[in-house]
Each structure stands twice: as C-alpha cells, then as structure tokens.
Structure 1
Amino acid sequence: MGHLITIATCNLNQWALDFEGNRDRILKSIKIAKERGATLRVGPELEITGYGCLDHFLETDLYLHSWEMYASILQNKETYGILLDIGLPIIHKNVKYNCRVLSYDGKILLIRPKIWLANDGNYREMRFFTPWQRPRYVENFVLPRLIQTITGQESVDFGDAVISTLDTVIGAETCEELFTPNAPHIGMTLDGVEIITNSSGSHHELRKLHTRMNLIREATAKAGGIYLYANQKGCDGDRLYYDGCASIVVNGELVAQGKQFSLEDVEVVSATVDLEDVRSYRSQISRGLQATHTEAYKRVKVPVELSPTSLSFNPKIVPSKPKEIFYHSPEEEIALGPACWLWDYVRRCNGAGFFLPLSGGIDSCATAVIVHSMCRLVAQAAKDGNQQVIADAKRVANVKDEEAETWSPTDPVDFASRIFHTSYMGTKNSSIETRTRAKELSDKIGSYHVDLNMDTLVTAVVSVFEVATGKKPVFKVFGGSQTENLALQNIQARLRMVLAYLFAQLLPWVRGRQTGGLLVLGSANVDECLRGYLTKYDCSSADINPIGGISKTDLKKFIDYARAEFEIPVLKEFLEATPTAELEPITKEYVQSDEADMGMTYEELSVFGRLRKVQKCGPYSMFLKLYHEWTPRLTPRQVAEKVKKFFFFYAINRHKQTVLTPSYHAEQYSPDDNRFDLRPFLINPRFNWASKKIDEIVEQSEKGTTEELEELTVE
C-alpha cells in the first residue's frame, strides 16, 4: 500500500533586512503550499533576514527582529496544519548560528544549526557565524520570552537531530552542506531518514546549474530518499543573483523543478511522492550493512501523520512523474540572469530607470540588449497578470494618476522609452559607423537617445592644462610620446563619465519628471577588467555593471543569440565590427584596435583568467600548463612572452580592480577585488623569480630543439 505525501519547496525573492516584506513572502508561500495539499514546506536559507546581510549579521538588532518576524508567523493560524522549515539566524550561548527552525501548529520542534559554512569565493559565513561542529549532538535552547508566550514552550532541542512523524523521518541540511564530500545527507539516509530538506542561498554563475543538479540527484541516487531543494531568487542587494530552481528529487530522479530566472517574488514547487518508493528503492541497493553501523541521530517525535492517504485510497491524488532537468543555454542565462538582477535593483532603489553611454561597440551593445531583455520580462509578467511587477513598473516609469488606471507595461519598447536612456558621446576620433549603429540599436529597443559631440569639452580641458603648464600634449600618430597619447585618451574617457552622471541626474528633469535619478550602467567585460584595459574612473565607472562578470567570448555568443531571438538585425553589424575604443585619431595608416592595444586576444584573456583564478596558477605554473596546450602552434618563447605580458599588465592594473563598478557575478574568474578576488594591488609586475624559471624552461626547450636538428643533419 502506498504512502502518498504532498510536499512543497519554494523560490523566494528575499531582500536583505526587508523583514516585513520577507515575512509576507514566506506567509504567501505557506498559503500556496497548503492550497496544493502539501504537509511539508521548505524555504530558502536565512529567509527571514535575506541571505546577503553580510556584516549586518554582526548586529544584535537583526536577531531581535528575526524572532519578531518568526513570532508573527507562529501566531498566524493560517500556518497551522503543515510542517514548516524556516531559516533565520539565532544566538545560542552568545554564539551566532545560521539555523533552520522546524515547527508544526505553532510549536517549535527543533532548531538545527548549520554544520558546514560557506567560506570561499563570494562567501564569508565564518565572519558572521560559527559552525555547529558537533554532529548528532543536541542540547537545550531557552527560547526568547516573546516566543515562550506564543508557544507555551520554555525550551527546545538545538543541534543535529531529525524529525520523526508517525509515518516518516525528516532531516535538514543547509546549502553548502550539499557540496561537502561527507555531506550530512549521507549519514541521515543511512539512519533511515526518508525526506531531506536543503535550504540554500546559492548564486548564479554561467553553466553552474549542472553541478548543483548533479549533486542534488546524487544525494538520493546512492542511498535513496526524497530531496527538497529550496533557494533564494533575485538580487538580495549586492553583486549576486540567486537563481532559484527549487527542486524535488526522488531516488535520484527529478519530479519537480522551479524556474531559474523569473520576476515572480514567490514561486512554490510541489510534488506528490510515495514513501514506499523510497523503501523499495533502498531494499534494492547495497546500504543495509552500512546502515546497521551508522551512529543514530536523536529523533524529535511529532505525533502527526504527513501522508493521510495511507489510511484510505484517494484516486484524485496522483504521484508526480519523473521529468528531464531543464537547463538554459549560456546565451539564455546572459539574457535572463542580469536582466532579473537589473529589475530588482531599479525597483528597490527607487530609481527612475537607467542611463547607458552607448558607444556603438559590442560591450555597451550587450548591456543595452540586456536592458531590452529586462523590459521584455517585465512586459511578459504584466501580460501574465503579475500585479507586483505592474505596480513596480508604474512607479519606476512615473506613470501619472490619470494614466495609471489604463496603462500597463505590456509593450517592452514603450516601457523602455520611459525608463531607459542612452547617449552616444562622440568626438572627432569617433566613426560614423559606431554613431549609426548606436542610433539604430536605440531606435529598435526604444531607449530615449541623445547623440552629442564632446570635442569642445575635451579641447577646453586640454587648454586648461596648456595654459597652466605651457605644454600641449599631442597624439602618438602626430609625433607625441606614449605618455601624451595615454593622457589624451584617458581625458576623453573620464569626461564621458562626468557627462554620464550629469545626464543621469538631469534627463528625467528634462522629460518633465521632478524627482528620481537614473542608474548609470557600466559596460566593461570581465576580460577587460582582468587585463586592466580601461581607464580608471572612466565611463566604465558607474553605479552597476550587468556584464562585468561575463567574458567577451560569451558576450559575442549572446549577441548572436539575441539577434535572432529578439529580432534585432543591426546586432550583426556589432558582431562584425573590429573592437575599438575610438580614443585615438583615425588615419589612413592607423585604426585603433582593442586586441592590438592589449597585446593579446580576448580568447587568450579568458584562458589566462581561468588559469589564474580557478586553477590557482601563478606565472610559472601557468606557463607550464600552456607550454603543453599551445605548442607546437606557438613556440615555447612565444608562450612565455604571452604569459609574462599578461601578468605584467595584470599587476600594474591591479589598482583599477579595487574600484571596479559593482558587477553582476557570472564568472568564476572575476577579478572583483571588493568581494571575490582578494589580492594585493601593489605587485612587482616583473615577477622576477618566476620569470627566471620560465626562461630556464624556454632555454632548455630551444637547446633541445637545436640538438635534435643537429642530430638529424648528421644522420
């Protein structure tokens, strides 16, 4: 006889410190789960506070407010009749823990602290919390007085235990614990736990979802069981986008999957599963002997049954069928992830929209197309009747009262015309081709576009310098030095930043809006940031940058995808154009080229970036790896020169990475110094000892080649 149980997990768009908003979204998810007949609901990690509070987790106010919000959930009778797994931070014996609190009918059953904390890459959990390094150990936790008053309980169990109902056993693990080699779910499943919950605050990276889903499936494929994965979704107030994809897996097979990208604040994913499938599966695999040797978890007993259909057959309740995992292509991920991130940012900062310096090059083009993708998502959500999106869109677009009753953001071009502003800031070094491309793109996506020349501004600034010093710098093509050439390029770029902020503040006023400014968008890709191929405090300096964590190679693929998907033919011209900053005069003999200026291709930069950050290579080990990969296409000396050149420019430009515009994190080799890539910014650019070792290998290789040729000649 089957034991059918309906269970629910969710994606919630929580926001750091938005206590009441976070609580209301939790309550909405519980209501939806109950309407679907679920008897278990799981939410994201730290859902009461939002995951990304960072150093706010050090403030005691936060813990008080967390309990206050949790108290209002416990008091709400609409939360009765379902077992709840909710995340909040808790102080126990003056130590701060990242916890799951499990409750039923207004009574707390167990507080389960996180055992393994995320403490690398983007995460610094051990800065705020302490891991519970006592597996299977439980002690007494005295509840705050406001909770005692509500529940009638003085204390509850605190530690690594599991919940035992009349019909099954439930265990909880939290985010990072899934990724650890000796994950808690292994011991739990061996001890008879049949349902495992995982509450996460897991961020999006390109191509990362495959890793996560493989781990979720493997969690129950080896030992059997039901796995509920919950995740935060949206921008929590920082560089990360949490990409949802709440899932339910049974015995290694997916039965329910939520969206990875969407503008829904609350998404509940539910499934009906059969507990007998778990028991049958476990009888077929080699786990019995290990299970009998596994140390037992304390079971917190709850006299309720989560699968009431075990008492009587109900033909209307049907088990969920296995399904294929849905993955977006990397091009779709670029179109959707940064777009959702931008939407959360603009609606929550009370901005009037975006301003983008649109140069006619592929990077600012990609940024503009991502904003267009955002407008398309808003339009689709409005068509689907998402009232939160409609209300936010009206507020951002400053729709007047008389228009608000009839207007809805269902047309992405119309919506863009209200909230998206672009400008081509040309000089005498600009080409008619880039100016035309920028205008055509703005017309297609609907941005309010300003076309201007800033030569008088550049000339005025250079004249001030000439008057003050008596010296007039000239470009290299006219006989100037490299120092003069760089200075004249940089002043153009920096003046564009000044103009960008002027226009961002005043364009809404120009268009009749009395309050609200525009967010300035940056458009430097991850490879340029890594190489330092940008001017410090130029138009790459902005409020936020949606492409700062995306490689040039991926951006090109995205633009090719968008050309067809969004029906924007002009994007083909952006793809075919030679990347150029257009900061130097164009002559018959010389046209500035980005890759020529950098001394390396964008494809090579991606390789250097991954080896440096992901594979943790210094100059010497990077050379050794590339020696085998790039020869004989390149000689050992050529490989050495490229590696040395990369590290030289990387080192002398490290200071630029300390002031990078906050960027959407999408790539593992991001050089973002502020959160992700912590390295000194004063480095000897020659890497003398490593260079000597590289030179030794090159000499040995060349000597070996010469000797081989001599032997062949003699023979």
Structure 2
Amino acid sequence: MGRKVTVAVTTLNQWALDFEGNLNRILQSIQEAKEMGALYRTGPELEICGYSCEDHFYEPDTYLHSWQVLGELLKSPTCKDMLIDVGMPVQHRNVLYNCRVAFLNKKILLIRPKMLLCEDGNYRESRWFSGWTKERQIEDYYLPRMITAITEQTTVPIGDAVIATKDTCIGFEICEELWNPKSRHIPLGLDGVEIISNGSGSYMELRKAYVTVDLVKSATFKSGGAYLFSNLRGCDGQRIYFNGCSCVAVNGEIVSRGQQFALHDVEVSTATIDLEDIRSYRTKIRSRTHLAASNPPFPRITVDFALSDDDDVYLTVSPPMEWQYLTPEEEIELGPACWLWDYLRRSGQGGFFLPLSGGVDSTSTACIVFSMCTQICDAIQKGESQVLYDVRKILCQSDYTPSDPMELCNRLLVTCYMATENSSQETKQRASQLASQIGSYHFPIMIDAAVSAVIGIFTAATGFIPKFRANGGCPRQNLALQNIQARLRMVLSYLFAQLMLWVRGRPGGLLVLGSSNVDEALRGYMTKYDCSSADVNPIGGISKTDLKAFLQYAKNRFFLPSLSEILQAPPTAELEPLTDGQITQTDEQDMGMTYAELSEFGRLRKTQNCGPYSMFQKLVHSWSDKCTPHEVAEKVKHFFRCYAINRHKMTVLTPSYHAETYSPDDNRFDHRPFLYRVHWNWQFKAIDDAVAQMTKDKRGSSDRQVDTTQLSASTSNVSSHFMRGERKGVLI
C-alpha cells in the first residue's frame, strides 16, 4: 500500500490579462512539477487571468478568455496523468466567484469558489466577487460548450467540497481563508482531509514575511496535515509586489519553500510527504480526535486516481527546514529592484532616467537600479534564458550578454545632476562619485537659464520681481522661487528621458524614476508636479530611516564607499540661496519635525487609526522622556495641519512600490479625503484641554511634595524620592 506522495507548489509571475503568457507559465510549471516527480500540482490565486484585473472582471471577455486558457490546459499532453488545480474567475448563476478549478485527464473534478474575501490593505475583492456562502454544499455548474467539447461533461460540481483520491483526501482554501479567524483548514482537517492547498495572491510589506509562514505552520500544528501554499510573485500591473514564499508545511513544520524575490517567472517547489505521519500525528491529539468524530462531513468528489505508488520505498520524505528571513535592508535591496525589472520589461521602454541629487533618496533609487542590474547578471549566469531574452529585447541587441552590473547599469540607467546657483559643490561631487561607482551614464547640467526665463515671463506680465527670503522676499515669494526650480527639473527630466537614447544611438525612451520617500509624502513635503513626479517610484513606500539603513548595508554589499559621505550629509532640497557657498536649508528644519517623528506619526495615523487626540494620548506617554505634554501637543497639531494642507498632493503621487503599512497613497491603499478643514478646531481643543489638566495635576503634585518635605528631616529624603516618581508618572 502506497503511503508517500510528492506534491508541488508553484510560484508564478503572472501579468493581468496576459492570457498567452500566463498559459505558457502555467504549462511550464506543470512540466517542471512532473519532471520533479509530483502527481499533484497547485498554483497561485487567479493565475489564469492575473490577480490585478480589477474592473476587467466585469468584462465578459475576461471570463471567455479564462475558459479558453483552461481548455488549452485540459487538452495539453503536459497535463496528462496529473491532478492539477488552477485559479480563475467563474460566473455561476450571474454571480462572479474567485475559484479553484481541479481537473484530471480532461475531466473537471470540482470548481471550488472562494468563501471569505479580502477587503483590507490594497485588496477590494468584493467590488468584483462574492463569497460562496453555502457551507458543505455543492451545485451543478453548466460548462461552456467549448469545454464540454473537450471533457464531454455538461455539468460539474461547484461549491464547498473536497476531492477523495484512492489514497488521501484534498481540500482547498483560497488566500484570505488562511488569514481569517474562521479558517476552513480546521473543519477540513477534522473531516479527514490530509492535504490542503491554498492558491494565494499575498503582497509584501517590510518585515511581514514571517506572518504568512507562521500562519501556514499554524494551520497544520493544531490539527495535523499537509498545507500547500502557492503564491504569486512580481508586479502584475499594480503598485504591489507579490511576495512569493510558496511553501509546504507538514504537522507544523516547513518542509519545502520557494524564494521571496527572484527574476525568473516560474518556480516549482516539491515535497514528499508520508501520509502515515499525518495520521499518526492526528490520532495522538486526543481532543482533536474526539472533536473530529462529530464533525459534519464535506461533500466528497471521488476520483479513481492515486497520488502514491505501491513501490515508494525509495522515496525520501522531505525533512523539516529552518526558514531564513531576509532583513529589511535585504528586502529593500531585492524587492523594489524586482518590481522595477517587471515594470521595465513590460513597459516597452529602454531603461531609466533619474535626477540624481547626491542625497539619500535619489541615491537609494540609484542603488536599487544597480541591485536590479546585479540580479540580472546573476540570473543570466545561472542560465535564466527568459531574463537574457528580456535584456536583449530592452536593449535592442540580439547578441548582447551582460556579465558586469556596472556595464549593464551604464546601458539601463541615465543619471543627471540638475544644478542651480543654490546647489553646492558637495552634492554635485557626491552625485558624480556615486554614478561612477555604479556605472550609470551620468552628466551634470545647469538649469539657471531656464529658471531665469520663467521668472522673466512672470516679471514681464506683472512688473513684479519675486525674491528669496534671504534677499528680502516674503514667504510666498520664497516658496514660489523654490517651486519653479523643482518643477523645471521635472520638465527637463522628461525631455532627457525621451531623447537620451536618441543621443546614444538607440531606439526608444526612458522611464523617469521618482525618489520621494513615504515620510515626505505623508507630510506633503514636496512640490506638486516637481521632480518627485515621475513614471514610477521604487522608494515611495519606504521611510527615510529604512533608506538610511539600506544605504549603510548597500555600502558593503555593493562596495560603494561614496555612500558614507552621502549618509553623513544632512538632507536638503537646495532650493534657497547658499551662505558663503554653504547649505543653510535642511529638510527637517523646513518640515518642523524629524523623519523619525514622521514615521511614528504615520504608523499611528494609519496602522493604529489615530486621530489628533488619540495620537496625542499615545505620544504623551511614549515621548515623555524628551517632550513635555505641551511640546507633544504642538508637534501633533503641527503634523495634522501640514497633513491636511498637503493631502491633495496624495492624489497625484507617482505610482510607488508598496512596502510600508502607513503609505498615504490614496489611489488604493489609504482612502481618506483630500480636502480638509485644516484647523481641526474640535480635535485640537480636546488636546489643549488634556494638556491643561495634566499641567494642573502636575502643579498639584508639586504642592503636595512641598507639604510632604516639611514633615520632618527623617522623612524628607524618602518623600522627595517618592514624589519624583509620582511627578514622572504624571508626565508620562
């Protein structure tokens, strides 16, 4: 009797609506799984059409083409003698469902709709789909005639059911059903389902990879069994990057896993499982066994097929393995670079253009592009033919094979230092040094003539000459003169991006890269439609604190000594006049808050859902060692004033790589108004009242301290010590 089965989980980099490419990648994964000895293959969520089709899910074409792709899979000899399930949208009785479709040898066994939909973060699934609500029930699904012609089936079961093979039982969860408190894997396990597969579309956020792993392990720890988690990887047309990390867990231990970040489009991970290990594990948990005895059964779809073989003595069971998590710096090195690679090869453009200022933000963006070039060279050296094909297509050079990241970076990245009379020699030098170390095609330009021309137009029309604050101008004049420099840099960026490949004798154009971080977006510390406006922004979801840590890491990882000086320099926009050739303007001074404070404001506002009063209540305790209640109140009020005044800028943020839980991107992740009453009168009064009460309590405490110290000399020291602790407690 067979007891060992080999199963395959699949990581795919699918594109929304790329039905031909998606089909080819699915077939490749099936072929690789078969060659690795697997008889069951599962894949990611909505892998046939791509996850991020969004409102295309309303279009009949999306369903027609999905069924056509499934028809090609059913007919393909690659799929012969293998149990397979794929993800696709299905319309049943005029309701749209997100489904898994299981098939074997040209027969559809089951359509299993998603029961619990994801509605948080970047997910809006109920906009298009409904959850299947009929627990442990199946209905007849009438197949399209094109599928009936292949399978000779008129109807197939759709619903909450499981598949019973000769040797085991297979059940399904789809993405959110693993995260939900009412997960299906517990009742499935209690009903004797030994293998549970989950096709997922889970995206990355910094420091979050452990969440999925812990959930997958937990799914089999309490109730035993094997859990097969298949996830998408890459950018399929949105700001998010799907996280990869497909894996197999058995009885609470990871036994197989895929990579989190990679450039190749198809990755198959297999595991060999001893079914008797699952049965033994479960029977030892007596409370589980007693509960299982009364568990309502799921409908079973019986299939005359076995995943095991009688002669399996030579199969080695996959042992438990330790999951090695990437550091946040490594996640920044790899994730945005892979996202940029997907965007570049799908956009049809020939590379990137980056205004390189010599500061932390643009330097981080440049280093991420260099990381992309490094990963490309590594992948090609490992024999990744698709990566080589894509590089040659981008560069329009059919015989080119990159081997050195610096040389490839010179072809793919153009950097430009856009100086004005307000720019310092130090930042110009830092930009030049970094460009030479990563190999980018770099040149400096002076834009003073353009600035003067625009100001001249204003003067000719009005008769007024605006001045900087340092030269006697008012704040409005000072800000306008800064903004025109920043906006002209954006205009020039697009001019050079369109023409630099023409200058270099190559066809096509370049994508303009933005380099504003998530903290600046939150505060609105940017000029609308300035050089932060671009085609894509790889660091738009990353904090300044994390970017500095990344550059510290990248300095050694990529041998870039120029990063030391860049890290030591204070962040500055360099838009106001210099004093004796030295910078007098700094970002944190302009913003009225530090980047570290901004990160904390962001997490409280978004992740912990704090308004002004709630934020004050939390910070007055956590910042008690450095700020008085009054100072905390003023900082919170200043942040919310700036947030309200600048919120409109979020509507035009450059599409950014999503990496942070407090991203203010209102195009999808952060749905809040962009027009506010900026004074927050009611909220700020509540803060002021709380500060007044704390001040009053503090005075009362001090008065009590004076009375206590007059009792006697013998108790003076003890009382004074006690009151210091009391006073500290009040301030906290």
Shared fold (TM-score, shorter chain, > 0.5): yes
SS at match of 2:319: coil
The aligned counterpart of 2:423 is 430
Matched ranges for 1:99-138 at <5 A: 99-138=99-138
Q: Could you tell me which residue of structure 2 aligns to residue 327 of structure 1? A: 325
* Maintained 8 Å contact 2:198/2:230: yes
- 1:152-199 deviation line (CA, Å, top 9, x unaligned): 111010000000011100001101110000101111001110000000
Q: Distance in 1 between matches of 2:583 and 2:18?
A: 55
Hey, what's the Cα distance between the residues in 2 that align with 1:253 and 1:635? Answer: 49
Task: Report the equivalent of 1:49.
Answer: 49
2:5, 2:705 → 1: CA distance? 77
Q: Which residue of 1 aligns with 2:265?
A: 265
- Is 1:518 aligned to residue 510 of structure 2? yes
Establish whether residue 582 from structure 1 lines up as the match of residue 606 from structure 2.
no
Match of 2:550 in 1: 558
Equivalent pair of 2:588/2:595 in contact (CA under 8 Å): yes
Aligned to 1:278: 278
Q: Which residue of 2 aligns with 1:527?
A: 519
The alignment status of 1:306 with 2:307, answered yes or no, reads yes
- Which residues in structure 2 correspond to 1:344-363 (within 5 Å)? 344-363=342-361
> Using the alignment, how far apart are the partners of 1:590 and 1:337 within structure 2?
34
Q: What SS is found at the alignment partner of 2:649?
A: helix
1:295 is aligned to 2:296: yes
Deviations 1:435-487 (CA, angstroms, capped at 9, x unpaired): 00101111111111121110111011111111111111111111111111100
Aligned to 2:702: 709
SS of alignment partner, residue 259 of structure 1:
coil
Within the alignment, does 1:679 sit opposite 2:672 as a pair?
A: yes
Q: Distance in 2 between matches of 1:191 and 1:558?
A: 48
Deviation string 1:196-218 (CA, Å, 9 cap, x unpaired) is: 00000111110111111100100
Look up the equivalent residue of 1:535 and give its one-letter code: T
Q: Is 1:207 the equivalent of 2:199?
A: no
Distance in 2 between residues matched to 1:2 and 1:136, nearest whole Å? 29
User: Is the CA contact 2:555–2:561 (under 8 Å) kept in the aligned structure 1?
Assistant: yes
DSSP-derived class of the 1:260 partner: coil
Contact 2:573 2:587 in 1 (8 A): yes
1-structure distance, mates of 2:638, 2:236: 38
Q: What residue in structure 2 maps to residue 468 of structure 1? A: 461
2:608 is the counterpart of 1:615 = yes
Q: Deviations over 1:15-66 (max 9, x none)?
A: 0000010001000000011111101100000000011111111111000000
**1:369-388 alignment runs, 5 A limit:** 369-388=367-386
Cα distance, 1:713 vs structure 2 = 2.8
Which ranges in structure 1 are unaligned for 5 or more consecutive residues? none
Residue in 1 aligned with 2:243? 243
Contact 2:90-2:98 at 8 Å conserved across structures: yes
CA distance in 2 between counterparts of 1:312 and 1:202 reads 38
Deviation at 1:710, TM superposition (A): 2.4
- The correspondence for 2:528, drawn from 523, 536, 544, is 536
- Deviations, residues 298-318 of structure 1 (Å, cap 9, x unaligned): 00001111111xx23432x11
Pairing of 1:50-129 with structure 2 (within 5 A): 50-129=50-129
Q: Which shifted more, 582-591 or 666-675?
A: 582-591
Matches within 5 A, 1:635-654: 635-654=628-647
Tell me the SS of whatever aligns to 2:259.
coil
Instruction: State the AA in 1 paired with 2:541.
Output: G
TM-score, normalising length from structure 1? Answer: 0.98
Give 1:409 deviation, angstroms: 1.5
| Matched letter for residue 354 of structure 1 | F
Report if aligned partners of 1:2, 1:274 keep a CA contact under 8 Å in 2.
no
| Deviations 1:357-405, CA, capped at 9 Å, x for gaps | 0011100000000000000000001111111110110111222xxxx33
1:630 paired residue among 609, 623, 633: 623
Q: Is the contact made by 2:132 and 2:159 (CA closer than 8 Å) also made in structure 1?
A: yes
Structure 2: distance between partners of 1:249 and 1:2 = 20
C-alpha separation in 2, matches of 1:131 and 1:435: 56
1-side partners of 2:175 and 2:51: how far apart? 11
**Cα shift at 1:293:** 2.2
Aligned amino acid, residue 250 of structure 1 = V
Question: Contact 1:2 / 1:276 at 8 angstroms: preserved in 2?
Answer: no
After superposition, give the CA deviation of every residue in 1:538-580 in whole Å (9 maximum; x if it has no partner).
0000000000000000000000000001110101111100000
CA distance in 2 between counterparts of 1:435 and 1:590 reads: 13
State the SS of the aligned residue for 1:653.
Answer: helix
Question: In structure 2, how many angstroms separate the alpha carbons of the residues matched to 1:269 and 1:196?
Answer: 16
Write the deviation string for residues 257-285 of structure 1: whole angstroms up to 9, x where unpaired. 10100011100000111000100100111
Look up the match of 1:494: 487
Normalising to structure 2: TM-score of the pair? 0.95
After superposition, the C-alpha distances for 1:395-450 in whole angstroms (9 at most, x for unaligned) are: 11222xxxx33x30121111111111000000010010100010111111111112
Conservation of the 8 A alpha-carbon contact between 1:204 and 1:240: yes
Any gaps of 5 or more consecutive residues in structure 2? 711-732
Aligned partner letter, 1:704? D
Report whether the alignment pairs 1:666 with 2:659.
yes
What SS does structure 2 have at the residue aligned with 1:98? strand
Q: Give the letter for the 1:371 counterpart.
A: V
Alpha-carbon deviations, 1:203-248, whole Å to 9, x = none? Answer: 1110111111100100000000000000111110110111211100
Secondary structure of 2:529 counterpart: coil
Question: Aligned in 2, Cα 1:313/1:236: closer, same or farther, shift over 3 Å?
Answer: closer
Q: Provide the C-alpha distance between the structure 1 equivalents of 2:393 and 2:379, rounded to a whole number of angstroms.
A: 16
| SS of alignment partner, residue 627 of structure 2 | coil
SS at match of 1:658: helix
The AA in structure 2 aligned to 1:681 is: F
Give the residue type in structure 2 aligned to 1:226.
Answer: A
Q: Distance in 2 between matches of 1:410 and 1:153?
A: 53
| Partner SS, residue 139 of structure 1 | strand
Identity, % of aligned pairs?
57
Give 1:382's aligned amino acid: I
User: Counterpart in 2 of 1:507?
Assistant: 500
Q: How far off is 1:665 after superposition?
A: 0.3
- Secondary structure (helix, strand or coil) at the match of 1:7 reads strand
Q: How far did 1:590 drift? A: 6.6
- Shift of residue 14, structure 1, vs aligned partner: 0.3
CA contact (8 A) 1:397 1:415 kept: no
**Alpha-carbon contact 2:190-2:291 (below 8 Å) kept:** yes
Partners of 1:227 and 1:45 in 2: how far apart? Answer: 15
Distance 2:114 2:482 in 1: 52
Q: Which residue of 1 aligns with 2:175?
A: 175
